[in-house]
Chain A
Amino acid sequence: AQKITQTQPGMFVQEKEAVTLDCTYDTSDQSYGLFWYKQPSSGEMIFLIYQGSYDEQNATEGRYSLNFQKARKSANLVISASQLGDSAMYFCAMREEGSNFGNEKLTFGTGTRLTIIP
């Protein structure tokens, strides 16, 4: 069975500093994908970044990058130059092998609450 582990329930970071949110995963699948979502206090889940298991380069999207270490089964999210608006819950998620269009079953971690301090 697939499992996602986020060991940091909460983090406090000074504004403009970089922050790393940890995510480790467990799967026996050869093909899988890893996602990061942001959930502000409004409740909506916002897609941030995606990394496929066969992607050789780490994914980047603006200030977000994903530090993918396949051998260690980790997929940490790095946010550069943090902003007050980055304060939110962050969830790591993994898609199951065999997921196809219309069948995007994701396994989610328990999340990390990030608070940016002015």
Chain B
Amino acid sequence: DGGITQSPKYLFRKEGQNVTLSCEQNLNHDAMYWYRQDPGQGLRLIYYSQIVNDFQKGDIAEGYSVSREKKESFPLTVTSAQKNPTAFYLCASSIWESGANVLTFGAGSRLTVL
């Protein structure tokens, strides 16, 4: 089945450590995204990538980094510079559907900083 796989589902990190969240898709989508979700808030865009070897900052990119070396993969690194990294992270890719560019999401990764 086609879809987006995020790993790990749960991750604990000590302060000062970098951590990388994996996102893999087999949908052959060109565009991929990373969103952050905090309790009681909607999703906020961290980074997005339209094609391989290209990516753009979203609204809250500070303290995060990404790479897009392969079409299928868009890993997110949460660096020690991110002041409040505890959150739920969602990866997505997009396809044209119902007259719009519809995002398909993975199941998410929950990061907790101890």
Chain B, residue nearest A49 (CB): B98
Q: Are A45 and B102 in contact (CB under 8 A)?
A: no
B92 cross-chain contacts in A, Cβ below 8 A: 45
Q: Are A104 and B105 in contact (CB under 8 A)?
A: no
- Other-chain residue from B48, B106, B107 in contact with A105 (beta carbon distance below 8 A): B48
Is A103 positioned at the interface, with any CB of B under 8 Å from its CB? yes
CA A104 to CA B34, docked complex, whole Å = 12
Q: Are A50 and B103 in contact (CB under 8 A)?
A: no
Chain B, residue nearest A45 (CB): B105
Give chain A nearest CB distance to B46 CB in angstroms: 11
Q: Taking each of A37, A95, A102, which has the highest tally of chain B beta carbons within 10 Å of its own beta carbon?
A: A102
Q: Report how many A-B pairs have Cβ atoms within 8 Å.
A: 82
- Other-chain residue from B30, B49, B100 in contact with A50 (beta carbon distance below 8 A): B100
Chain A interface size band reads 20 to 34
CA A59 to CA B98, docked complex, whole Å = 10
26 contacts between A and B (CB under 8 A): A43-B90, A43-B108, A45-B90, A45-B103, A46-B105, A50-B97, A52-B100, A59-B98, A61-B98, A93-B43, A95-B101, A101-B31, A101-B50, A101-B101, A103-B56, A104-B31, A104-B48, A105-B45, A105-B48, A105-B58, A106-B103, A108-B43, A108-B44, A109-B42, A110-B40, A110-B42
Partner-A contacts on B (CB < 8 A): 30-31, 33, 40-45, 48-51, 56, 58, 88, 90, 92, 94, 96-108, 110
